[in-house]
Amino acid sequence: MSLFEPVRLGRMELANRMVMAPMTRSRADQAGVPTPSMATYYAQRASAGLILTEGTQPSLLGQGHPATPGIHTDAQVAGWRSVTDAVHGAGGRIFNQIQHSGRVSHPSVHGLTPVAPSAVRADGQIFTPQGPQDYVEPRALTTSEVEEVVAEFARAAGRAIEAGFDGVELHGAMGFLLHQFLAANTNQRSDAYGGSVQGRIRFVVEVVEAVAAAIGADRVGLRISPAKPINDIAEGDTLELYAALLAALAPLGLAHLHLVAAAEEEVNDKIRAAWPGALIVNPLNSFPQAPEDGGRGNAEEWLRRGADLIAFGRGFLANPDLPARFRTGAPLNALNPEGLYGGGDAGYIDYPVLGDSAA
């Protein structure tokens, strides 16, 4: 199998198996409305088989970092419509990644106390409009508030479709709210949404089901990052947890599962074996230094090991025309650390493509 073969994902036939991984770039305006530069940025990358947008908050309280976009106001939906029109006009396909940050947030971002499954403060600091600050203790959601957040995800997904997206990816990875419910160290609840593995998967399963009911399961994907301690997450019982989660989700007929590969091969292999549908894998690459081959070697290896599609983050960030560069063996642009998170158009929409005089 090759990266350049078409593949079916939900109701779409994708031109190739190269997915642009979700990447927060913090270019939305003060009201979380996508800016014209964002339409340019995503349209430049439309040769990906599928684009996954940066994490997008389903509510004000769901915002984690400054200048991230939302998908809960009319103005945000209109802003995203310009993005999806530009991507579709360039022949691309695009899913909106819906991210509720939960405790990985700060009052200086939205003026509110962050919420989480339990009042457990994350270790470390978060980047805020005033610079890095310690995390605060979040407020535990009440049971009825948990149910409201489930509905909030379904509403956001409906609005994403209204904005012209081909579907949504729910961010269940990297220690954000869905992951906080899954993990034992962040979920110390005593109601039906905590405790045993069956209790801890309940919120994620209900969110996926509600979103699938709202927009159709074949337009819904889920991203997971098992066994990764990022954002101070400790699952405790990774294999049992994801076995139960995937057993509950497998019958739904989702568009995709998106696995951020674990360092432990056993975890990856068990997830591939347990998932009957399309599997996007984001391979384990060197960090923070991006791999010199743009991740191509790891991608080919993963296609041999059972991935259906491969997600590339920094490869697409620095190379808008990554598929053409891989096809032709052209050299790759280096990642510019300037403007990675926030800033103007430098380091955002000025990466050259093949054929540019600058390339």
**24 part of the interface to ligand FMN, by CB under 6 A:** yes
Whether residue 116 contacts residue 138, with contact meaning beta carbons closer than 8 Å, is answered with: yes
Which pair of structure tokens corresponds to residue 25? 């770039």
Those residues whose C-beta lies under 8 Å from the C-beta of residue 43, and which sit 6 or more positions away, are: 83, 86, 87, 89, 90, 92
Residue range at the interface with ligand FMN (CB under 6 A); choices 110-118, 169-177, 197-205, 344-352: 169-177
**How many CA atoms does the CB half-sphere of 330 hold within 13 Å?**
17
Please state, in angstroms and rounded to a whole number, the distance separating the CA atoms of residues 16 and 93.
11
Query: For ligand FMN, what does the binding mask look like between residues 217 and 256, x meaning CB under 6 A?
Result: ------x---------------------------------
The answer to the question of residue 285 lying near ligand FMN (CB under 6 A) is: yes
Single out the segment in contact with ligand FMN by CB under 6 A; choices: 131-139, 159-167, 170-178, 261-269: 170-178
Q: Is 310 in the site for ligand FMN (CB under 6 A)?
A: no
Q: How far is the CB of 168 from ligand FMN (least distance, A)?
A: 13
Cα separation, 165 vs 162, whole angstroms: 7
E strand intervals along 151-228:
167-171, 220-224
The DSSP output letter for 68 is: -
| Among 3, 15, 18, 21, interactor with ligand FMN by CB under 6 A | 21
Counting residues that bind ligand FMN (by CB under 6 A) gives: 20
Exactly one of 69, 315, 320, 323 binds ligand FMN (CB under 6 A); that residue is 315
**Spatial contact of 117 and 188, defined as CB atoms under 8 Å apart:** yes
Q: Select from 8-16, 111-119, 126-134, 311-319 the region that touches ligand FMN (CB under 6 A).
A: 311-319
* Min dist. Cβ of residue 190 to ligand FMN (A): 30
Residues 51-80: x/- map of binding to ligand FMN (CB under 6 A)? ---xx-------------------------
Spatial CA neighbour of 226 closest among 212, 214, 240: 240
In Å, how far are 58, 321, 331 from 327, measured between CA atoms? 37, 10, 11
> Please, which residue, 197 or 351, has the CB nearer to ligand FMN?
351
Nearest to 64 by CA among 186, 175, 227: 175
Amino acid at 37: S
Instruction: Choose among 103, 59, 112, 58: nearest CA to 233.
Output: 103
Q: Per CB under 6 A, does 312 bind ligand FMN?
A: yes
328: left (phi over 0), alpha (psi -120 to 50) or beta: alpha
Instruction: Count Cβ neighbours within 10 Å for each residue of 82-91 and write b for 16 or more, e otherwise.
Output: bbbebbbeee
Q: Does 313 bind ligand FMN (CB under 6 A)?
A: yes
Footprint (CB under 6 A) of ligand FMN, residues 125-154 = none
Distance between CA 141 and CA 51 in Å, rounded? 32
Using CB under 6 A, pick the residue from 171, 179, 189, 228 that binds ligand FMN: 171
34 binds ligand FMN (CB under 6 A): no
As a whole number of Å, the end-to-end CA separation of the chain is 30
* 174 contacts ligand FMN (rule: CB under 6 A): yes
Amino acid at the residue 152: E
- In the complex with ligand FMN, the residue whose CB is nearer, 312 or 351, is 312
Closest approach of Cβ 27 to ligand FMN, in Å? Answer: 11
User: Cα separation of 337 and 356, whole Å?
Assistant: 21
CB of 231 to ligand FMN, least distance (A): 11
Q: How far apart are CA 260 and CA 281, in angstroms?
A: 6
Binding range to ligand FMN, per CB under 6 A, among 19-27, 85-93, 132-140, 152-160: 19-27
By the rule CB under 6 A, 104 interacts with ligand FMN: no
The yes or no reply on residue 41 touching ligand FMN (CB under 6 A) is no
295 binds ligand FMN (CB under 6 A): yes
| Residue 174: CB minimum distance to ligand FMN, A | 6
Residues that bind ligand FMN (CB under 6 A): 21-24, 54-55, 97, 171, 173-174, 223, 260, 282, 285, 295, 312-315, 340
